Amino acid sequence: MNMIQSYIDLLISQVGKGIYVWGGDGEDMSAFADPVAWIKKHETSTLNAARAVALYNKRVLGGVETIRAFDCSGLQYWCLKQLGIVNKDINSRGLYGLCTPLKQSELRAGDLVFRWADKDGDGFDISEIYHVGAMIDNNRLVECQGRDSGVVISNLSSKWGAFGRIAKLQAASQPSEGFYRTLKKGDKGEDVRQMQTLLMNKGYDLGSYGADGDFGSKTKSAVIAFQRAELLEYGTANKLTLTALGGTWKEG
């Protein structure tokens, strides 16, 4: 499993759970004393707030334990942040700026699709982008569609008129160069990021930091949890741990 698959898994994890709130970046509604008040504060009108609250209440009644708030770009930002691809909020036009432009025929899983409106009649311009989704296979995508539906899987259609591939996500999905040192708390670097990606691919939680290349407390807890599950000596990530995770050890 690579970073693109991890991205797809994160997107799918929010289908039927996430709600649309203007400006939402993945906030956990359970963190707020009054989630409904938070939604009303962030929404653009009384009507839109009522729609968002209605879906939130539907999720609660449906037994969804973790309800996150997104807008269309906020969903992509939240997933990419978990993987260490972005570290600050970004809108749909900014996401297109991270991409290598594609033709529709070139789309594959992990690529972004955009909606835009040709208001001035002169053809595509990045400033005219207003919505974004991400492909999960050749025909389907995940998007935070709107206040009445939240995060859904939908089919690719003619409504999507611009396409791109995130260069940094593509690069992060290339085969690992391998490990050459024992990793411990306080270490930083690409090898730490690779280890974090392997941990996430095995289902270990790194919190909001994701694969950021910084061996902090959350990463240490995940490493120890993996080592205990595999009956390995725990504390630092040595050769045995890194290879058990699926990494390659480089001698010398």
What domain count does the chain have?
2
* Rounded Cα gap, residues 141 and 155, in angstroms: 6
Residue 176 forms part of a structural domain: no
217/113 same-domain check: no
In a domain, 177, yes or no: no
Domain membership flag for residue 179: no
Q: Are residues 209 and 96 in the same domain?
A: no
Tell which of 170, 203, 229 closes a domain.
170
Q: What is the pLDDT of residues 121-133, one digit of tens each?
A: 899 999 999 999 9
Q: Which domain holds residue 112?
A: 3-170
Residue 55 lies in a domain: yes
Identify whether 141 is part of a domain.
yes
* 7 confidence band (pLDDT: 50, 70, 90): very high
pLDDT in tens, 69-118: 999 999 999 999 998 889 899 999 999 999 999 999 999 999 999 999 99
In a domain, 251, yes or no: no
What is the pTM assigned to this prediction?
0.72
42 and 164 inside one domain: yes
- Predicted confidence band of residue 1 (pLDDT cuts 50, 70, 90): very low
